[in-house]
């Protein structure tokens, strides 16, 4: 069956070197008891390696042109299921079986951050509702620049709000680099494969995630400014941040997830105390 050409509008760059696909599958350590959600199977090079581990592979593909070739190639596998949908529109609790699953994928580079935030959102919901399926790990091929931000350390050039949000929810590891020449068409940059292991019980977590998210996003938009300058301009946050015993001459790129959590918790408590005083 003829395989359709890559669609530029979907950011498709298909992995063609099987060795890298095998490394991704090996990193998941799947077996016959496992379920793996594959995001964007494309032409199926990673799919085949995942199936060979014995894991049940639930492949989610947005491109309708690829459905018949994928069914033709893997339809005989009892451990293969294909869904035609956009992963970014999916609710994992509706497509994953009960219990624990993992995620794999060679992601379109321009969608990597969105996919990561979707996985974070699911982890948050699943922690609050134990009946939801749990995603314990993800091994993802993403743009190397983004991969570097995922695993960055505070006060480094790659530390970003993405680093903060991901490392609040998961332990992270940079596994290996995939050169641009391993894809067709060849992208302009290399890929990086990262592994995320989501925390069932995070080592630190804000009591009010909305406050945490607000201050991280806002201050990173002004990452060259000192925290005292950025926070002073935030309605509903100022002057509550001043309750914290903290060096506000620091810049957002120097704070760890634990420090952001501490700061957000002080602000949340001060806001609550203020509301209670107003009621009285």
Per-residue pLDDT of 91-118, as tens digits, reads 999 999 999 999 999 998 899 999 999 9
The model's pTM: 0.93
DSSP for 151-214, written as a single string: T--TTSTT--HHHHHHHHHEEEEEEEEE-GGGEESPPSS-EEEEEEEE-SS-SS--S-HHHHHH
Per residue in 116-130, pLDDT (tens digit) is: 999 999 999 999 999
Residue 267 scores a pLDDT above 60:
yes
For residue 174, name the pLDDT band (cuts at 50, 70, 90): very high
Question: Given this model, what pLDDT does residue 30 score?
Answer: 84
Choose between 280 and 255: higher pLDDT.
255
Give the pLDDT of residue 272. Answer: 84
Count CB atoms within 10 A of the CB of residue 277. 8
Whether the upstream peptide bond of residue 239 has omega within 30° of 0, thus cis, is: yes
Per-residue pLDDT at 77: 96
Q: Which DSSP string corresponds to 22-51?
A: HHHHHHHT--TT-EEEEE--TTSHHHHHHH
pLDDT at 1: 54
Q: 8-198 has which fold?
A: Rossmann fold (3.40.50)
Contact present, 190 and 144 (Cβ < 8 Å): yes
pLDDT at 28 (0 to 100): 93
176-212 pLDDT, tens per residue? 999 999 999 899 999 999 999 999 999 999 999 999 9
The CATH superfamily of 209-279 is rRNA adenine dimethylase, C-terminal domain (1.10.8.100)
Distance from CA of residue 195 to its chain's centroid?
Answer: 10
pLDDT digits (tens, 9 = 90+) for 221-243: 999 999 999 999 999 999 999 99
Let me know if the fold of 8-198 is the same as that of 209-279: no
List, for residues 8-67, the tens digit of each pLDDT value. 777 778 899 999 999 999 999 888 899 999 999 999 999 999 999 999 999 999 999 999
Work out the mean pLDDT of the chain and round it to a whole number.
94
Residue 229 is encoded by which pair of tokens?
């300058």
Domain borders along the chain are 8-198, 209-279
**Residue 246: partners with Cβ closer than 8 Å, 6 or more residues away:** 227, 259, 262, 263
Q: Could you tell me the pLDDT band of residue 280, with boundaries at 50, 70 and 90?
A: very low
Residue 212 contacts residue 257 (beta carbons within 8 Å):
no
């Amino acid at each position: 069956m003829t395989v359709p050409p890559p669609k530029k509008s979907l950011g498709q760059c298909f992995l063609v070197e099987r060795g890298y696909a095998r490394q991704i599958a090996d990193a998941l350590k799947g077996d016959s008891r496992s379920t793996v959600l594959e995001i964007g199977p494309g032409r199926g090079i990673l799919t085949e390696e995942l199936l060979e581990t014995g894991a049940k592979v639930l492949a989610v593909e947005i491109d309708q042109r690829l459905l018949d070739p994928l069914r033709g190639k893997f339809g005989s596998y009892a451990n293969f299921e294909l869904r035609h949908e956009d992963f970014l529109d999916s609710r994992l609790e509706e497509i994953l079986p009960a219990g624990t699953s993992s995620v794999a994928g060679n992601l379109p580079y321009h969608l990597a951050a969105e996919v990561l935030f979707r996985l974070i959102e699911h982890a948050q919901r699943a922690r609050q509702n134990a009946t939801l399926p749990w995603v314990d790990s993800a091994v993802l091929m993403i743009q190397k620049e983004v991969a570097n931000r995922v695993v960055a350390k505070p006060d480094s050039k790659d530390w970003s709000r993405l680093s903060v949000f991901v490392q609040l929810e998961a332990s992270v590891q940079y596994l290996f680099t995939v050169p641009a020449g391993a894809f067709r068409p060849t992208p302009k940059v290399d890929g990086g494969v990262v592994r995320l292991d989501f925390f069932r019980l995070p080592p630190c977590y804000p009591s009010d995630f909305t406050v945490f998210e607000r201050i991280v996003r806002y201050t990173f938009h002004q990452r060259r400014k000192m925290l005292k300058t950025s926070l002073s301009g935030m309605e509903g946050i100022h002057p509550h941040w001043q309750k914290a015993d903290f060096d506000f001459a620091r810049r957002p790129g120097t704070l760890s997830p634990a420090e952001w959590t501490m700061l957000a918790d002080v602000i949340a408590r001060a806001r609550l105390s203020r509301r209670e005083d107003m009621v009285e």
